[in-house]
Chain A
């Protein structure tokens, strides 16, 4: 099935304008692109790990999410959505609802590769019916460009600064996609959604790992 951007853009946005993400940020564009994959008639619950995306789209008393939305914490988007999806099963079984709902979770690379890794692993191993999207900008951007296990080799971050003695991050980027493939998920995962940050300079002494293929 080919992807026709022109057609897709005709669909109504499910993330409204007026949120507080920075002008030019790729994240809301990525979110809207993902949400366009929903059938217009489907109901959805969206979950976001604590991140720029979360604090900028749901600042009380405003929300930019037209669908039901839940934020819980930094490290548990997988488990939180496990609970919501299981509630759906329970309510459907008991005849409390009959419509179709879809479940989409968003986490950054910090909330997915690192602190939220266990929660994600548990959710995928148990096989909850959700789409989990990792918005991988290869460092902890919300707190100010600290290294994550997704940060590429030799990258200059605020916790792996390029110095005289240490040339940036010494480790390679973790291969999350391979791990997810090995986690008995019924659907093959796709590579994380990548975004290159304009504030993410690299001064490697040697070439770093090639950037992941853009979505």
Chain B
């Protein structure tokens, strides 16, 4: 039986870090993830962990120190948000190509400008092609649980992993949460035993090569393979976590999808609001459902197609915009997955919502389902690129 607590999402993640007691943390403050290194440095200074904390002078250096420390043979962690994630972008690519399973907690926040501290997914989506594994949480409990699973997943495939939650919505809101006992966490996460590392006196190692066209593409192909292999690892680790705690995890979560005719594909905390909307509409006899994407990288293409193939209409909800003039990033991936697997019957629309912390209410989601009902009834999609709850 776990330990019943009430924690903010940031504190829950910091608590998971404390239970794991990693070797090195390099971090720089930025709203709304600041609390994570704050809580953690308190654990360090009170001797509750023996992690080495590096209070770096920027996010770029935070990720640079993590790369150095993980390459040296340690578990390295960091936390960031928004512009901080942008600032470390260059190093995110290096971490992935060096195949260093660093763990990064992200409390997602909008990007400037206008400058805004509230939640959307522009930061995480902006680095979606950096080669990192990316898990998203709906609740504080999921942020905590995802963090406990992250190192197992990243270290199994040799890729760094981002554990994303929604800034303020879960990072600062306090919810009831069930924690796992320390000894169970330590047994579940295990020790980090890298095959090769810098501080191995018996085998010097060189990290960060220059690769000419003769070798560069093979390096990238191996990264792609690791990302594909990660799907199976995420499922297995999620199932094992379920046996330990009673809370199982998969790549996606299907909610009322068995007979659904209209569906949403959504990520993060707004899935909770959408589930409540589904409950209300189901009570009215409407066949609606939703697919919550937990793993955005690797992208669960087959699973989403399987979930959507029988619906009449769906909306992909993007809490950010690609500014490509026609859709959000997740819509592009969902529809590409459908097309690639020859599924063309469901009508899809792209919805951009909740930018810069714009409130997402049950009424907002009801409106989307109302439009999907019209599309399902008429077969006419109309404008596929839509903004929700915006003054035009």
Residues of A within 8 A of B (CB): 43, 45, 47, 54-55, 58-61, 63, 65-73, 75-76, 78-91, 93-94, 96-97, 99, 101, 118-119, 121-122, 125-126
List 18 extra interface pairs beyond A45-B198, A79-B65, CB under 8 A: A60-B211, A68-B206, A69-B207, A70-B68, A72-B94, A73-B94, A76-B91, A81-B68, A82-B68, A84-B72, A85-B68, A86-B54, A86-B69, A87-B52, A87-B70, A118-B58, A121-B57, A126-B55
**CB-CB under 8 A for A83 and B65, given A60-B211, A70-B206:** yes
Measured in the bound complex, the distance between the Cα atoms of B209 and A58 in whole Å is: 6
| 8 Å CB contact of B210 from A58, A79, A84, A89 | A58
Produce 1/0 per residue, B56-88, CB < 8 A to A.
111011001111111111101000000000000
Is B204 close to A, CB under 8 A?
Answer: yes
CB distance from B19 to the nearest CB of A (A): 16
**CB-CB under 8 A for A68 and B199, given A86-B52, A126-B55:** yes
Taking a contact as CB atoms under 8 Å apart, the answer to whether B58 and A72 are in contact is no
Taking a contact as CB atoms under 8 Å apart, the answer to whether B57 and A80 are in contact is no
Is B201 close to A, CB under 8 A?
Answer: yes
Taking a contact as CB atoms under 8 Å apart, the answer to whether A76 and B199 are in contact is no
**CB-CB under 8 A for A91 and B23, given A58-B208, A58-B210, A73-B91:** yes
Measured in the bound complex, the distance between the Cα atoms of B75 and A94 in whole Å is: 13
Measured in the bound complex, the distance between the Cα atoms of B26 and A80 in whole Å is: 11
Closest to B215 in A: A60
Across-interface contacts of A87 in B (CB, < 8 A): 23-24, 52, 68-70, 72-74, 76, 198-199
Taking a contact as CB atoms under 8 Å apart, the answer to whether A86 and B198 are in contact is no
Taking a contact as CB atoms under 8 Å apart, the answer to whether B74 and A90 are in contact is yes
Taking a contact as CB atoms under 8 Å apart, the answer to whether A63 and B60 are in contact is no
Taking a contact as CB atoms under 8 Å apart, the answer to whether A88 and B72 are in contact is yes
Is B359 close to A, CB under 8 A?
Answer: no
Closest to A80 in B: B68
Q: Among B54, B90, B94, which residue has the most Cβ atoms of chain A within 10 A?
A: B54
Is B224 close to A, CB under 8 A?
Answer: no
Taking a contact as CB atoms under 8 Å apart, the answer to whether A79 and B60 are in contact is yes
Taking a contact as CB atoms under 8 Å apart, the answer to whether A68 and B210 are in contact is no
**CB-CB under 8 A for A118 and B204, given A83-B24, A91-B23:** no
How many residue pairs, one in A and one in B, have C-beta atoms under 8 Å apart?
165
Closest to B68 in A: A83
Measured in the bound complex, the distance between the Cα atoms of B52 and A65 in whole Å is: 28
Measured in the bound complex, the distance between the Cα atoms of B61 and A121 in whole Å is: 11
CB distance from B376 to the nearest CB of A (A): 50
Measured in the bound complex, the distance between the Cα atoms of B222 and A37 in whole Å is: 39
Is B51 close to A, CB under 8 A?
Answer: yes
List which B77-110 residues lie within 8 A (CB) of chain A: 90-91, 94
Across-interface contacts of B211 in A (CB, < 8 A): 59-60
Produce 1/0 per residue, B177-219, CB < 8 A to A.
0000000000000000000001111001111111110010001
Taking a contact as CB atoms under 8 Å apart, the answer to whether B210 and A82 are in contact is no
Taking a contact as CB atoms under 8 Å apart, the answer to whether A91 and B91 are in contact is no
List which B16-59 residues lie within 8 A (CB) of chain A: 23-24, 26, 50-52, 54-58
Taking a contact as CB atoms under 8 Å apart, the answer to whether B209 and A59 are in contact is yes
CB distance from B211 to the nearest CB of A (A): 5
**CB-CB under 8 A for A72 and B52, given A83-B65, A118-B58:** no
CB distance from A76 to the nearest CB of B (A): 4
CB distance from B165 to the nearest CB of A (A): 25
Across-interface contacts of A85 in B (CB, < 8 A): 68
Taking a contact as CB atoms under 8 Å apart, the answer to whether A70 and B208 are in contact is yes
